[in-house]
Amino acid sequence: MTKPQSPLTALERPRCRRCQLRMPLVAAERDLDGSDNRTFQCERCGESLSRRAPDPMKSGSAGWLEGELKPPT
């Protein structure tokens, strides 16, 4: 069984549109709905990219919530 992956995992860094280098995370802000607004910036050319990542506790990316342990019936 494969675990669903979030589009923005903790280790994933998007590529710069100009340089194609991996961009480091430079800022992250939490929204009221629990999602993160993440800003990445290229170290070579300064290009920046903002992405929104859903709250992992409310999405299917929290694989440990989908384990075999179930509440008593």
Classify residue 42: in a domain, yes or no.
yes
Classify residue 49: in a domain, yes or no.
yes
For the stretch 10-38, pLDDT in tens is 558 899 999 999 999 999 998 888 788 99
Query: Residue 1: its pLDDT value, please?
Result: 46
pLDDT above 80 (res 52) = yes
Q: Which residues contact 61 (CB under 8 A, 6 or more apart)?
A: 4, 5, 6, 9, 54
For residue 38, give the CATH number of its domain. Answer: 2.20.25
Classify residue 72: in a domain, yes or no.
no
Classify residue 25: in a domain, yes or no.
yes
pLDDT above 80 (res 9) = no
Query: Residue 33: its pLDDT value, please?
Result: 81
Signed CA dihedral, 38, 13, 15, 45: sign only: positive
Residue 49 lies in domain:
13-57
Q: Tell me how many domains the chain contains.
A: 1
> What is the mean pLDDT of the segment spanning 33-47?
91
68 vs 23, residue with greater confidence: 23
Classify residue 8: in a domain, yes or no.
no
